[in-house]
Structure 1
Amino acid sequence: MLNFFSEDVDFDLPRPQKTKKWLKTTSESEGYEINELNYIFCSDEYLLEINKQYLDHDYFTDIITFDNSEEDNKLEGDIYVSIDRVKENAATFQVDFETELRRVLVHGLLHLTGYGDADEEQKSLMRAKENQYLTLF
């Protein structure tokens, strides 16, 4: 089950059915099945509080992924996405909002399948995977 929620922002995901199909295809391509995956859209302030409370980080971020998976190859988790950050990043990187949003959505899913972004090598692989799946949307 794949769900989209808005927490403290008035946000409707563009093309939700197409996005669900795309994310399911992405997870299957990585050898995973989605059991229960929740995307929660929120503000910078909301995500900052989560970042402080759970990760002890005092800075804005575009996404935080919580892995709740209990079975191998079955994804379960909560992915918080700051709509404020996605808008700002889209402007910074000179891409449209929907493209940047999809990049963040797939980024969270890729974290759940085992990809990291702690160092430059991991970041490079993560970006390549994001680009690969963005072309499939």
Structure 2
Amino acid sequence: MALINFFSEETDFVPSKKLFLRKWIKQCVTDEGARLQELNFIFCSDAYLLQMNQKYLRHDTLTDIITFDNAEKEGVLAGDIFISVERVQENAAQYQVAFFDELCRILIHGTLHLLGYTDKTKQDKLKMTAMEDRCLEKRSAL
């Protein structure tokens, strides 16, 4: 059974439209040919995610998202995706987009990492951003 869960750490944030988000994310995963097992989105504060970044990735910088792949089989999607609500708010203001739209971009960004997309090089980042855009377009069909 495919599960998409939403949790909070050091924030009282709860996403709106949870059923819509679940359906949309499942569709994007299925369209990529993967089978969704379990995704846990954990919304947190900057401070919480900074601690995670320092502890697990040895990076001493703020970030909007950290993704942990928990899959045990090829083609099966399972992971924990930690998202700083404060970074999403700042990104939305910086890029002049609605908070919900930026939240969707971050949600699908983490999901795409679990699907094998990377953003380490300029070329990889362009490919990943294009895929994010395709997934975001799918929202209107739901």
Aligned to 2:39: 37
Matches within 5 A, 1:97-116: 97-116=99-118
- Deviation, 1:17, is 0.2
Aligned to 1:17: 19
Distance 1:25 1:92 in 2: 29
What is the one-letter code of the residue matched to 1:10? D
- Whether 1:72 aligns to 2:98 is no
Q: How many positions carry a matched residue from both structures?
A: 137
- Deviation, 1:87, is 0.1
What is the one-letter code of the residue matched to 1:118? K
Distance 1:120 1:14 in 2: 33
3-state SS in 1 of match to 2:108: helix
What is the one-letter code of the residue matched to 1:49? Q
- Deviation, 1:14, is 1.2
What is the one-letter code of the residue matched to 1:21? K
Gaps of 5+ in 1: none
Distance 1:34 1:28 in 2: 8
What is the one-letter code of the residue matched to 1:27? V
Aligned to 1:125: 127
- Identical residues among aligned pairs (%): 50
- Deviation, 1:136, is 1.0
Q: After superposition, what is the alpha-carbon deviation per residue over 1:63-118, rounded to whole angstroms, capped at 9, x for unaligned? A: 00000110111111100000000000000011110000000000000000000000
Quote the RMSD (CA, aligned, Å). 0.5
Gaps of 5+ in 2: none
Aligned to 1:49: 51
